[in-house]
Amino acid sequence: MGRPHRMPRREGPAQKSNAGGSPALTVVIPTQDRRDLVLTCLRRLCDQTLSPDRYEVIVSLDRPTAGTADAINRFATPFPLDCVLSERAGRAAACNAGIRRARGEILLLLDDDMSASRTLLASHLRAHNGRARLGVLGPVPVEVGTRSGPLVRYVATKFERHLSKLAAGDAIGFHDLYTGNFSIRRSVLDDVGLFDESFVLYGNEDGELGIRLMRAGVRFAYEPDAIAHQRYLKSFADIARDNIGKGHTAVQLARKHPSVLPNLRLGAGSSWRLRILRTVLLGMTDLSPVTPRLVVAALDAVGSVMPALAEYAYPAALDYFFWLGVRTERRSHEAAPPPS
């Protein structure tokens, strides 16, 4: 039987446990109304090698429907489970709402589409033993099955290259950081500040936090045993929208931290073929605002009949969407009235 029905709490002071003291670890799951994914994530967290009295889980809801909150509140777990409503929009704000509620010494940020291995929580805790200023990244390989389409295979291959780089022991910089499976001490975040909630659109909120963490002397480490598999369910329209968001927030990040511009995609070069195609598509967008929708439709059509060609075309199309976001953000900033 699940817990009695309750409404998710608004942001506010953490609720203190009446028995057993504070847990060693708090899992914070930010989500924007993806009920089924969250429930699957919670099921996997019920089957951990770490004793359930040593951790709690907080689901932080960004603009939810009543159905999402109800389903989470009724979900039976062997560990303390709580819901919190973010007062502001965006993943950064949702993460912060959950972090403020947390009671654990170690915080684990886990995306809602992650399927945790049984050793996930124990591995994160073990990695922090005796290390005060450490951020731990766990691998998040994308699940690929026989029915997976070209977009899932493309995303999986791209991210596998990133994970291979981390596993090779290369130094981890802010641009390598992802917070979909990331743990850190609460005291460290209190020292440097939480996520910047002005990052409302998709992307770069984790890199911005990473810059501040590195400047505060925090080191990042990759823990291969802290694995969580990612269920990638986004369409090409979704990932195109995400890349537009990444363009917006990349400019935002460069404005806040100008010194890191050479390490951003904004300051990196690209092939002349890619630059020409990008210029053509952006010019077409100026002439017709339906161009982005046409590009999405074209890639969907190619993906259904020529999957191999679609995987080849995805990088160029997503490059266009990223720079569309960059250009839109720059123009919006230039058109904005100066502060009074």
Domains observed in the chain: 9-233 (3.90.550.10), 237-332 (no CATH)
Residue 185 — left, alpha, or beta (φ > 0 → left; ψ -120 to 50 → alpha)?
A: beta
Q: Is the pLDDT of residue 158 over 60?
A: yes
Please state the rounded mean pLDDT for residues 172-176.
93
Residue 76: predicted pLDDT = 94
Q: What is the pTM of this model?
A: 0.90
Q: Which two tokens stand for residue 120?
A: 């996930």
pLDDT tens per residue across span 257-316 = 999 988 888 866 678 888 999 999 999 999 999 999 999 999 999 999 999 999 999 999
Question: Using 50, 70 and 90 to split pLDDT, how confident is the model at 340?
Answer: low
Residues 6+ apart with CB under 8 A from 310: 150, 151, 154, 299, 302, 303
Average pLDDT, the chain: 91
Q: Residue 264 has what pLDDT? A: 87
Q: Average pLDDT, stretch 124-137?
A: 94
Render pLDDT for 237-264 as a digit per residue (tens, 0 to 9): 999 999 999 999 999 999 999 999 888 8
pLDDT at 82: 95
pLDDT of residue 16: 38
Alpha-carbon gap, residue 262 to 265, rounded angstroms: 8
pLDDT in tens, 92-120: 999 999 999 999 999 999 999 999 999 99
Mean pLDDT of 162-191: 94
**pLDDT band at 339, cuts 50/70/90?**
low
For the segment 20-74, what is each residue's pLDDT rounded down to a tens digit? Answer: 589 999 999 999 878 899 999 999 999 999 999 999 999 999 876 668 888 998 9
Q: Which residue has the higher pLDDT, 70 or 319?
A: 319
Q: What's the rounded Cα separation, in Å, for the pair 37 and 233?
A: 10
Q: Which two tokens stand for residue 245?
A: 């968001």
Q: Helices 35-45 and 66-73, interaxial angle, to 10°?
A: 20
